[in-house]
Amino acid sequence: MMIERPDYEARLNADLSAAQQRQESRVPERCDVLVAGAGPAGAFLAAELAKAGASVVLCEKSQFPRHKICGCCLGFAAVSILRDSGASEILNQLPSVPLNRVKFFFGQTPLSFSLPDGRALSRSVLDSALVFYGLQQGVSFYQNTTARLQSVSNDFATIQLSGHDGALNYLKARILVVADGIAGSVVSDFSRFEFEILSHSRIGIGCVMESCDAVEQGTINMYYDARGYLGAVRLEDGRTNLAAAVDAELLKQLGVGGAVDHILSLSPSTERWRSTAAAQHWRGTVALSRKRKHVWGERIFVVGDAGGYLEPFTGEGMSAALASAKLVLPLVLDAVNEWSPPLGHRWQTLHRSRGTSDRFICRVVTSMLHNPRMVSVAARVLQSYPAIWTQLASLVNKPYCGEVKQ
């Protein structure tokens, strides 16, 4: 049975508003940790830090509930992380759709494979639920608030918080966690944290359309072309989430609707709904694939997509974000007690080591998808040897297993 989205989302956000009203409206002058960005990495990390006894301020530049361009798929790794934390109760209450299959459309004949236990859930519901979980742990949450690093001293990072009403506050945090995604600006004034845009980086686009019966519930549908790919999944309320990564040149040539129609037209199964999909109100992102040379600075940790992003190929993005938060958690707690540069170096090593196989697989797969011949060969190989997919799926969906040993 599908959940009536307005009722559930309204109830969740009413709880969120009530919890916010119980906290002090005035931004505190000091805290142990300021987490900038309330996506899965930031909200989850803030909650776990507060649960461990740290005083935590979580700020978000947008207003909740918010729509994000995202595949809306929680992989097995993400589900495992939430289950193993205090957020398991939140996860059990969320009206998510079990995901157990993925279909790849390379052309005429789709390839279908099983998936480890995953969930489909709209980001507006997931993000609000994680923030509410944080508020229950004692996190102070301020939305419509933009954070900007001003300076770092021996004892504190000083951050400017700008409200949408023009109000300015300056907060001193023992530790700043940057979790503001690929388009964030918290540390953009500092050259140390500049992004490097990777070659062949694509543009992300996404939308949510009304129910599409052609997209089977519980299945991720992936449509591929050498110049882009599109994923479709049914959400908890029966609507269909569409998310794509497309070459900038194709968008320039055909426009967003034309690019979507082109990718979907390569599969006969989309004939009944591709024109509807192309006509939706699509939103876009900056160039997706990017990395930061440094993911730490004096009293600063950079986590989640803010630390770098590689195109996922079956929705591994949120799993990577949550794994990043889980890994950095003990380092941030140690830094609150006593900051030392080795903690930052440790995070740099962990960040590079984290999900090495995942990143390698995503890099190889997305590189192949730029080459039609490689796609054709891969499709034939997977069709003949489905065990290869099983191995790939187990690698990129493996549950969080703790720190990488030095």
Q: What is the mean pLDDT of residues 30-49?
A: 96
| Residue that wins the pLDDT comparison between 369 and 299 | 299
pLDDT score at 384: 67
- Residue 2's pLDDT band, with cuts at 50, 70 and 90, is very low
**Is the separation of the CB atoms in 361 and 396 below 8 Å?**
yes
Segment 90-142, tens digit of pLDDT: 777 778 899 988 888 876 667 788 887 889 988 888 898 899 899 889 999 99
- Residue 31's pLDDT band, with cuts at 50, 70 and 90, is very high
Q: How far is Cα 302 from Cα 175, in angstroms, rounded to an integer?
A: 11
pTM: 0.88
Average pLDDT over the chain, rounded to whole? 84
- Residue 401's pLDDT band, with cuts at 50, 70 and 90, is very low
pLDDT score at 156: 96
- Residue 372's pLDDT band, with cuts at 50, 70 and 90, is low
At residue 222, φ and ψ (nearest 5 deg) are -115, 120
DSSP 155: S
Ranked by mean pLDDT, which of 3-17, 45-59, 313-327 comes out on top?
Answer: 45-59
**pLDDT above 90: percentage of residues in the chain:** 46
Record the tokens describing residue 243, joined without a space.
């998310």
pLDDT score at 258: 96
- Long-range Cβ contact pairs of 252-257 (< 8 A, separation 24 or more): 256/205, 256/282, 256/284, 257/282
pLDDT score at 3: 45
Q: What is the mean pLDDT of residues 335-348?
A: 96
Q: Give the chain's length.
A: 406
Q: How far is Cα 246 from Cα 215, in angstroms, rounded to an integer?
A: 21
Burial, 151: exposed, middle or buried (Cβ in 10 Å; 0-12, 13-18, 19+)?
exposed
Segment 286-339, tens digit of pLDDT: 888 888 999 999 999 999 999 988 766 566 788 889 989 999 999 999 999 999
Segment 62-78, tens digit of pLDDT: 988 888 888 888 888 88
pLDDT score at 110: 78
Segment 198-211, tens digit of pLDDT: 877 899 999 999 88
Q: Dmax of the chain from CA atoms?
A: 62
User: Does 358 have pLDDT greater than 60?
Assistant: no
- Domain boundaries for CATH 3.30.9.10 within the chain: 203-287
Q: Which of 153, 128, 152, 150 is nearest to 141 (CA)?
A: 128
pLDDT score at 287: 86
pLDDT score at 159: 96
- Residue 232's pLDDT band, with cuts at 50, 70 and 90, is very high
Specify which residues 140 forms β-bridges with.
57
User: Does 352 have pLDDT greater than 90?
Assistant: no
What's the topology of domain 203-287? D-Amino Acid Oxidase; Chain A, domain 2 (3.30.9)
pLDDT score at 312: 63
Amino acid found at 194:
E
pLDDT score at 214: 86
Please report the beta strands in 179-322, taking only residues with DSSP state E, as ranges in sequence order.
195-197, 203-209, 219-225, 228-234, 240-246, 283-287, 290-292, 296-297, 300-302, 308-309
User: Does 87 have pLDDT greater than 90?
Assistant: no
Q: Distance from CA of residue 198 to its chain's centroid?
A: 19
pLDDT score at 66: 81
pLDDT score at 198: 81
Segment 248-282, tens digit of pLDDT: 999 999 999 999 999 999 888 899 999 999 999 99
- Domain boundaries for CATH 3.50.50.60 within the chain: 5-94+119-198+290-361
What CA dihedral angle connects 265, 269, 274 and 275, to 10 degrees?
A: 90
Q: Distance from CA of residue 178 to its chain's centroid?
A: 14
Amino acid found at 240:
T
- Residue 48's pLDDT band, with cuts at 50, 70 and 90, is very high
Confirm or reject CATH 3.50.50.60 for domain 5-94+119-198+290-361, answering yes or no: yes
Q: How far is Cα 281 from Cα 206, in angstroms, rounded to an integer?
A: 9
